[in-house]
Structures are given as C-alpha cells and as structure tokens.
Amino acid sequence: MRLKVIVHEYAHMIAHQHLKNNNKEYHEYRNKYESEAEGIAYIVCKYLGLDTRDYTMMYLYSWSKNKDFKELDDSLNTIVNYSKKIINNFEKMNKKISIDEPLYTVRI
C-alpha cells in the first residue's frame, strides 16, 4: 500500500505539474486529478505485480462517479500516457542495475 501511495503522489507530480502554484484549479478539478493519479498508480502497481484493485476501485468510484464520458476519455488518455512514462523509466532503471553487479564498491 505504501508503494501505491508513493506512485499515486509521483503521478500527481509528473502529470499535474502545471498545478504546482495553482491550488484554485486543483480544488476546482480535484475529482479529475485524483482519478488520474489513482488510475496511474493502479496501472503501474499492476505492472509491478501488486494488487491494489480493492482499494483503487473504491477510490476511483468516489472521485469519478459524477464525471461525463468526455471527462473520463480525457483522463484515460492522461492515465495511459503517464503510466507508460513511469513504466518505461522503471524499465530503463532496471536495465542499468544488474544482479551480478554490486550496487556500490567499498574501497579500503
């Protein structure tokens, strides 16, 4: 659950960086931004083999139950695009770290 929360907050950071100094817009469209961040977190966690379905479905329902199709469609594009970015970055980092290579070297 902690990792899911971290991914959720990271999703806000990269997908909603335009809100950094704009709390008014965030509060006005909070349903949209929370749904997007949770959707991204769900996809990334699923990719990592973590099952967050039970929590995520209730969270998404609570933030998106009053949305119309156009809003959901726009959010789905954001969710897919930023999920891909996070997963691609994870893959790049994972390739750089090999099990056979030490993570650090100790010099005496």
Angle at 47 between CA 60 and CA 87, to 5 degrees: 95
Segment 2-48, tens digit of pLDDT = 999 999 999 999 999 888 877 888 888 889 999 999 999 999 999 99
- How many whole angstroms separate alpha carbon 73 and alpha carbon 4? 23
Segment 57-88, tens digit of pLDDT = 999 888 877 777 777 788 899 999 999 999 99
HSE-CB for 34 with a 13 A CA cutoff: 17
The reported pTM is 0.79
| Long-range own/partner contacts, residues 46-49 (CB < 8 A, 24 or more apart) | 47/83, 47/87, 47/90, 48/3, 48/90
- How many whole angstroms separate alpha carbon 74 and alpha carbon 59? 18
- How many whole angstroms separate alpha carbon 102 and alpha carbon 97? 9
Could you tell me the residue ranges of all domains in the chain?
2-96
Would the pLDDT of 95 be above 90? no
Residue in the structure block whose two tokens are 């990271």:
10
The predicted pLDDT at position 105 comes to: 52
